[in-house]
Structure 1
Amino acid sequence: MRAVVHVAVIVSVAWDILSRDMDIQIRDRSRQPIGVAQVDPAARPMLVRAIAADGAPHEIYLDWEHALDDAGQLRSCVTCGCQHLYRRRTLPRFAPFALVLAGAGVVAGVLGYSSDPIVLAALVALLVLDGAVLVLARVQLVCYRCGSAYGGAPIARYHRAWDARIAAEPDNQPAVPSDMNAPNDARGPSLPSNQ
């Protein structure tokens, strides 16, 4: 009976990991942005429709052959097949605004204006805003070779922050950009759709 409960917990955790959609900011092998797509990792679609910044749709082929590990977490890039991914924290859009306000709060404190109750209330509000910036920061996986970013998916512990030695390896270098309209094998499996 105990083994059955243990297996049920493992299956439910694996189902929960694979049930969330993953946001992919897709780039080609020369690190040029192609578009953004939402993908269900459990379905492992071979073809997705990515929407570019100008609204143009592109059909992108994804390679799921060895992309997921046994826990259902991303192990390699599905757009170019690179085995090396790193984790990156992305801050919310209001982070620069919060940084400017924090600088203003430091100046107010240094100049001695912090004894005023209104200034103290503003500094507390600023502290809450800075805490929100840290809490709302998301972690993404990014491919060393093509620069595609994966968000909304669980990240395995073996993925580390960016490492210059791994980035300098020849296999992780981007392809040389060429004419985007000409056929180019260096762009990897990502192909724009016919319009």
Structure 2
Amino acid sequence: MLVKLHQDGRKTDQFSIAIEQRPSKVRLEQSGDDIFLDWNSTVDDSGRLRACVLCRGDVFRERTFPQITAIVIVLAFAGGVAGLLGLVTTWLMLIAMISVLLIDIIILIFSFNRLVCYKCETRYSKLTIAPYHQKWDLDRSKQVQRVS
């Protein structure tokens, strides 16, 4: 499992651990500091993460996409509009649209799910995610902010 620590929306450090081992102390890769992990009630019976091991906060499922996704969306929209208006109806346009479609399919293949903590924004990837984890919920986020 890869754990990326965040503060104020920016990644500050990261570390990798095997969730089966459940170490109580981990050394951070960049700063070299030690942090303590709380495994009590944060892992379910099947060995999947249920809550944040740093702050015991609730987590939500998030799908990640490579940064090139926005460019591909703009290119697909521009190509679609040009095709609808009949501005470009050549073989070159068809090849370009097929290329954009293939890039989009490749992006979907390389996207993955991760868990994010509502409280501390820590991101957990490269782990099996339990089916009961939901996507981000505005009401739950506001509730966590009020309690914090």
Q: Secondary structure at the match of 2:52?
A: coil
Distance 2:147 2:138 in 1: 18
* Counterpart in the other structure of 2:93: 119
Superposition pairs of residues 177-188 of structure 1, within 5 angstroms? none
TM-score, normalised with respect to structure 2 = 0.87
**Alignment-derived partner of residue 65 in structure 2:** 91
1:50 CA displacement: 2.4
Query: Residue in 2 aligned with 1:155?
Result: 129
CA distance in 2, matches of 1:31, 1:67: 23
Secondary structure at 2:62's aligned position in 1? strand
* Partner in structure 2 of residue 132 of structure 1: 106
Partner of 2:67, secondary structure, is: coil
> How many pairs are equivalent?
148
Residue 66 in structure 1 maps to residue 41 in structure 2: yes
User: What CA deviation, in whole Å up to 9, does each residue of 1:74-119 have, x standing for no partner?
Assistant: 001001111x211111111221221232133123313324531111
In 2, Cα distance between equivalents of 1:32 and 1:94? 20
Identity %: 33
Alignment of 1:18-29 (within 5 A): 22-27=1-6
> Which of these two proteins has the greater Rg computed from alpha carbons?
1
TM-score, structure 1 as length reference: 0.68
**Partners of 1:36 and 1:121 in 2: CA distance:** 42
Tell me, in whole angstroms, the C-alpha distance in 1 between the residues paired with 2:43 and 2:27: 21
**Which residues of 2 match residues 94-113 of structure 1 at below 5 A?**
94-113=68-87
- Gaps (5+ residues) in structure 1? 1-21, 177-195
CA RMSD, 1 decimal: 2.3
